[in-house]
Amino acid sequence: MQYDTLLLFVVATSALAISPGPDNIYVLMQSITNGRKYGIATVCGLISGCLVHTTLVAFGVSAIIKENDTLFFNIKLFGALYLLYLAYKVFKSNTEVSLSNDVVPKKSGWQLFKQGVIMNVLNPKVSLFFLAFFPAYLFSQTLSIVTQFYILGLLFMTTSFIIFTGIAILAGFISNYLKRSKNIGLVLKWLQIVVFVGIAIFILFSEK
């Protein structure tokens, strides 16, 4: 059991969860518009959807990783290139963090939970990201690969839940800070780039 690999995974997941993206911005806006508990309901929906993607990736990739070194290398290469592509997309984007709540409709907590699940489950980019991210963090020679994927999935969900819930609770403070800080968009942009490139390099040099 390589606990240092799990620690690195949690650190990388934390950096990704903190970096601004569609999910945490959506949570922030729901919390500002409807209140903290509605933001947390959205978080619960988004995180629940990750179980579906974890299952798809775990059972779809485990046999390949176990039986074929060449295909496993190709998966790692795909993962690294995909993350570098994400870094490039962030690099080409503008630095403005949009916090307009004009288009955020008011919904019940149950509606927001269901919408969070649907948003996550129907987004194929989540499965692609898990496929790119998880294989480099396999941490045991004794546990089955499927079990390891589920452990990584649960760690990803737990870490993201804690950070996203923090965003929901501190929504007002975060919103005011983002609006006051002129350079925060640039800082967050480069944080995302560094995280994506760093994980891509780690994936390329990781061993089976």
The answer to whether residue 208 scores a pLDDT higher than 60 is: no
User: What's the pLDDT at 32?
Assistant: 84
H or E element, residue 95:
none
Which letter does DSSP use for residue 123 in this model? -
CA pair distance 180, 35, nearest whole angstrom: 21
Is 33:182 a contact under the CB 8 Å cutoff? no
Give me the mean pLDDT over the 96-121 stretch. 74
pLDDT top residue among 67 and 157: 157
The letter for the amino acid at 196 is: F
| Cβ atoms within 10 Å, residue 189 | 19
Question: Which residues span the domain enclosing 135?
Answer: 3-96+104-205
Q: How far is CA 204 from the centre of its chain?
A: 19
pLDDT top residue among 164 and 190: 164
- Could you tell me which of 75, 93, 51, 85 has the C-alpha nearest to residue 190? 93
* Whole-number CA gyration radius for the chain: 18
152-174, pLDDT tens digit by residue?
999 999 999 999 999 999 988 88
Work out the widest C-alpha separation in the chain, in whole angstroms.
53
The chain-wide mean pLDDT, for the chain, equals: 84
User: What's the pLDDT at 47?
Assistant: 95
The answer to whether residue 64 scores a pLDDT higher than 90 is: no
Give me the mean pLDDT over the 76-101 stretch. 78
- Could you tell me which of 154, 141, 151, 149 has the C-alpha nearest to residue 207? 141
At 24, is the pLDDT very low, low, confident or very high (cuts 50, 70, 90)?
confident
Is 5:181 a contact under the CB 8 Å cutoff? no
Asked whether the CA dihedral 168, 164, 50, 91 is positive or negative, the reply is positive
pLDDT top residue among 170 and 106: 170
* Of the listed ranges 1-5, 41-45, 50-54, 147-151, the one predicted with least confidence: 1-5
Give me the mean pLDDT over the 67-72 stretch. 74
Number of domains observed in the structure of the chain: 1
pLDDT top residue among 189 and 101: 189
The answer to whether residue 98 scores a pLDDT higher than 60 is: no
Q: Which residues contact 197 (CB under 8 A, 6 or more apart)?
A: 83, 84, 87
- Could you tell me which of 192, 34, 19, 17 has the C-alpha nearest to residue 104? 34
User: What's the pLDDT at 97?
Assistant: 58
* Of the listed ranges 10-24, 148-162, 182-196, the one predicted with least confidence: 182-196
End-to-end CA separation in angstroms for the chain? 14
H-only helix segments in the chain = 3-18, 22-34, 36-67, 69-92, 109-121, 124-133, 145-169, 171-180, 184-205
User: What's the pLDDT at 66?
Assistant: 63
What is this structure's pTM? 0.82
Is 47:161 a contact under the CB 8 Å cutoff? yes
Asked whether the CA dihedral 20, 184, 164, 195 is positive or negative, the reply is positive
